[in-house]
A and B are shown apart, each in its own frame.
Chain A
Amino acid sequence: MAPDTKHLEVTLDTHVESVNLAEEMCLRVAEAAGFAEDECYRIGMSVREGVINAFHYGNQEKPDKKIHLGIDLTGEKMVIHVMDEGKGFRLSDVPDPLAEENLLSTSGRGIFLMRSFMDEFDVVPGRTGGAEIIMSKKLPLPKSASGNGNLRPSNSDATPHQEA
């Protein structure tokens, strides 16, 4: 991890309330990092979907398993990790919810929403043996170079930040 990265980590129970808790926690971090309301909504929704995925598909709602949520704030982006204790899965095995035959499916849209709402998205094998969702959103341009006590890593206040 880069020295200027700020890291938060929390272990959540496999419980439906953990979905709301994870969303609220990430929303607060995103707001403090300076994301606008629309971007916060997309980040919150993506975290929600990641934790729903871990709760339902990964841990299969088994209360003895845990959900591991991590947030990294680098100078450039907010990175979110959601790891379950299930058996893992491959993205290529996830059905396309936009395919005609899946449009009336009552589930299977979470991965699609995370991919749509975040800048980067991937699923890798986690250290617990389950799946680890890694997704990120590029930080907004800072409003001023003076810093305002937010959660941005300190060196990002001193370095001009430009869109690619």
Chain B
Amino acid sequence: MPALYATTREVGIIALVDLSGRIALGEGSALLRKTIRDLLDSGNNKILLNLGDVNYIDSSGIGELVSGFTAVRSRGGELKLLHLTKKVHDLLQITKLFTVFDVYSDEPTAVRSFQ
């Protein structure tokens, strides 16, 4: 089963993290946690997670997204989501987290939302 890969790029004032693979118990969840923690430690608290190539999230991965969301918010920042696949969209919908996260389907709009 493929692992998770994360690449961070700066887009204006935000850190945009392109994720691909699975956010699941083990390495995937751990990498997401480390990526967000490293961004916060280096002063980035406006974070956009691009989940366009994330085809699988389990309950551990959902927990890690929520944990990241609350950690960023506690530092006065924002964590938002971009490009959900259908499976991830449905998962956030049934867990009612769609109402918690700001979710965008195009990058420019998502980036502008942080201004």
Contact A109 B25 (CB under 8 A): no
0 or 1 for each of B86-106: is its CB under 8 Å from A? (1 = yes) = 010000001111011000000
Query: What number of A-B contacts does a CB cutoff of 8 Å give?
Result: 52
Contact of A106 among B63, B94, B100 (CB under 8 A): B63
B64 at the interface (CB under 8 A from A): yes
Query: How far does the Cβ of A51 sit from chain B's closest Cβ, in whole Å?
Result: 9
B69 at the interface (CB under 8 A from A): yes
Contact B58 A48 (CB under 8 A): yes
Contact of A109 among B26, B95, B99, B100 (CB under 8 A): B95
Query: How far does the Cβ of B10 sit from chain A's closest Cβ, in whole Å?
Result: 28
Given A20-B1, A41-B87, A98-B95, is A104 in contact with B59 using a C-beta cutoff of 8 Å?
A: no
B24 at the interface (CB under 8 A from A): yes
- Tell me which of A24, A103, A106, A116 has the highest count of chain B C-beta atoms within 10 A of its own C-beta: A106
0 or 1 for each of A59-91: is its CB under 8 Å from B? (1 = yes) = 000000000000000000000000000000000
Number of chain A residues close to chain B: CB under 8 A: 23
Number of chain B residues close to chain A: CB under 8 A: 21
Residues on B with C-beta less than 8 A from A17 are 26
Contact B24 A48 (CB under 8 A): yes
Contact B70 A104 (CB under 8 A): yes
**In this complex, what residue of B is CB-closest to A53?**
B59
Rounded to whole angstroms, the CA-CA distance of A16 and B28 in the bound complex is 12
Residues on A with C-beta less than 8 A from B87 are 41
Residues on B with C-beta less than 8 A from A19 are 24-26
Mark A residues whose CB is within 8 Å of B: 16-17, 19-20, 23-24, 41, 45, 48-49, 52, 97-98, 103-107, 109-110, 112-113, 116
7 new A-B contacts, CB < 8 A, other than A52-B58, A106-B63, A109-B95, are: A45-B58, A49-B59, A97-B95, A107-B63, A109-B63, A112-B95, A113-B94
Mark B residues whose CB is within 8 Å of A: 1, 24-26, 58-60, 62-64, 66-67, 69-70, 87, 94-97, 99-100
